[in-house]
Structure 1
Amino acid sequence: MLYIGCPQWSSNAWKGNLFSRQCKNADMLSEYAQHFNSVEGNTSFYADPSPDTVLRWAASVPDEFKFTFKFHRRFSHELQLTNVQHELTNWLNLFAPLFEKTGQIMLQLPKAFAPQHLAKLAAFIELLPKELNYGVEVRHPDFFKKDEAEIALNQLLMAHNINRIAMDTRALFAVKPTTEALIDAQQKKPYLPVHAIATGSQPMARFVIADLENDYKTFYQPWLSKVTQWLDEGKSPYVFFHTADNREAPLLARQFCQDLGYNHNVLNPFSGEKEAHQQALF
């Protein structure tokens, strides 16, 4: 199974395209889930939802939909993975109603998390419920040198069937930052080597481009082969598509599936497209 998604499920910029023109904010998740079977739950990195919100999210998507929420930044950035057990238990209990619709939970580590801190990650992993799936994204350049430090990281993740998240921003940084959206994206996104390794059964890639007007296929061409390989090996990859302002993210995801030759709901006409077609008939 291939899981395809965007970095968010709501955007007013998607009205009239992915969404119908009159789509209410409360209905965006359910309309999004008609075409995508996963999403990056980046909202949970910055704030905890209310219990009622968690229940509403669970009711808004079909059973086959899989969220990939991020651990709140207090675990990774503030507490630095230490003395987290009580906070972690409370956080997991909050999201428990969504566990059946959770593909994996992502741990985004700060750039300051270096190889000498791997013991902290190992201890944190031991606290995690074994029945859930997890992904880890590292941003320290010493984890990308194909030496002992990277090997140690990969071996730790493999031992626990935890996925190493690959973030590919090459297409984003190949474009000169001439717009506010590009400047902002290049300031916030890391620019690191791309190591597409499957340390778990659900490898994850986050593919970031500037926009559809600039060359991006040169950079995602290798991902077509890699995703095909993972599917052939019986893995369930997750691939998420970003643009600088995410306005065209749904279209990028659709283009990838077309080029991959994979039958996915993202290939079906979007709600806004069907609406425009019906209006054109009269």
Structure 2
Amino acid sequence: MSLPSVGARTTGFLKLGHKGRGLIYCGAPVWSSPDWQGTIYPSKARPSEYLRYYAQHFSMIEFNGSFYRIPTPEQVRVWRHDVGPEFRFCPKVSKDLSHQLAKFDKDLLLTFARMLNAMGENLGLSFLQLPEWYGVEQFPYLEAFIAQWPKEFPLAIEFRHPSWFQGAMLLDPVINFLYRNKLATVITDTPGQRDVIHMSLTYPSVLLRFMGVFPSKFDQQRLKTWLDRLEDWARAGMDTIYIAAHQEKNASIPQTVDFMHRYLLEKKFEGVVRPVVMDRLDEDGEETEFTLGG
């Protein structure tokens, strides 16, 4: 199984001399799954304890809960006490923002920003998933939204309509826009679907959403191919690379992430982030106020 070649734009981006940390975080799209009872969680663990046990095995979460309902800063601070300082949340932008770009609610964006602020050092890369029907003709609405996005919070964009792409790269005007606004990309790899997989890098962070059927030999080879490429990007100066493992059955996700960890460690890659189990200090600080378009 091969990946699309890295285009000239990405090759040029990697030659800009980024001096990132070259860290790779691996995790899942959920932290609560009945399939993990007795493996990730002790057999008698309560749902309120699931995140604590999850964070002992995974270093990041593709946090999809914020897509449906934005948690309060108070709730976020409770979650932070369950994870170590190395753990990263990658929140998905609320659907009431991402699916309403033509007329988004600025107050809701402020609410989302307050949630991000509450994550503190545990905030990874937020991502905005455009609807599948959202084509390049609606680019101006995305530009208007980004003009209001609080710039202190890193953001990646997931493009899902084929009109945003030319081959395995985003269109040049889109790449220019992302780079100019310090926006990252989301890369989604789904077996049998190659119309929106791309190799565009525009910021020293990236999120890979890997859809698979692990532990098939095909999936193992796909993962090895991806990990080889991501290692190359990390060594070339990327700062943070996040891999969210999606599987047909959640029961396979821990095995998938363990495979990734072992493969990178066998290659003596020192940038793979492993969970550290430790107590958290109370970090309830004052909430920062935000203005849009900053």
**Normalising TM by the smaller chain, what interval?**
0.7 to 0.9
What does residue 98 of structure 1 align with?
Answer: 119
Match of 2:147 among 117, 126, 150: 126
Give the TM-score, by structure 2 length.
Answer: 0.77
**Which residue identity does 1:211 align to in structure 2?**
F
1:155-213 Cα deviation digits (max 9, x unpaired): 2111122111000011xx4xxxxxxxxxxxxxxxx763421222111111111112324
Q: Look up the match of 1:176.
A: none
Deviations 1:104-141 (A, max 9, x none): 11100001211111121112112111211111101101
- Structure 2: which 5+ runs fail to align? 1-22, 277-294
Equivalence for 2:249? 245
**Deviation string for 1:228-265 (max 9, x for gaps)?**
11210221111111111222111101112222234656
Which has the higher mean CA deviation after the structures are superposed, 33-42 or 212-221?
212-221
- 8 Å Cα contact 1:209-1:243 kept in structure 2: yes
Deviations 1:13-67 (A, max 9, x none): 1122222222221111111111221110011111222443222112211122110
Letter in 1 for 2:122: K
Query: Hey, what's the Cα distance between the residues in 2 that align with 1:69 and 1:6?
Result: 12
Matches within 5 A, 1:113-192: 113-146=134-167, 150-170=171-191, 173=192, 192=195
Question: Which amino acid in the other structure matches residue 29 of structure 1?
Answer: L
Out of 201, 225, 232, the position equivalent to 2:235 is 232
Query: C-alpha separation between the residues in 1 aligned to 2:111 and 2:101?
Result: 17
Change (3 A) 1:21 1:191: farther
C-alpha displacement of 1:149: 6.6
Please name the residue that 2:263 is paired with: 259
CA gap of 1:247–1:81, structure 2 versus 1, over 3 A, is farther
Indicate yes or no: 2:111 matched with 1:108.
Answer: no
Residues 1:69 and 2:121 are matched in the alignment: no
In 1, are the aligned partners of 2:88 and 2:123 still within 8 Å (CA)? yes
Q: Which residue of 2 aligns with 1:84?
A: 105
Which range moves more in the overlay, 39-48 or 148-157?
148-157
Report the 3-state secondary structure (helix = DSSP H, G, I; strand = E; otherwise coil) of the residue aligned with 1:203.
strand
Q: Given that residues 51 and 82 in structure 2 are in contact (C-alpha distance below 8 angstroms), is that contact kept between their aligned partners in structure 1?
A: yes
- Residues 216-236 of structure 1, C-alpha deviations (whole Å, 9 max, x = no match): 123223212211112102211
Match of 2:33 among 7, 11, 36: 11
CA contact (8 A) 2:125 2:207 kept: no
Report the secondary structure of 1:126's partner residue.
helix
Aligned-residue CA RMSD (Å):
2.3
The percentage of counterpart residues that share the same residue type is 26
Secondary structure, aligned partner of 1:215: helix
3-state DSSP of counterpart to 1:196 = coil
Aligned counterparts of 1:132 and 1:165: Cα–Cα separation in 2: 16
Relative contact order (C-alpha < 8 Å, sep 6+): which is higher?
2
1:153 aligns to what SS in structure 2? helix
CA–CA distance in structure 2, aligned partners of residues 220 and 130 of structure 1: 33
Q: Unaligned regions of 5+ residues in structure 1, if any?
A: 174-189, 269-282
User: Letter of the aligned partner of 1:49 in structure 2?
Assistant: P
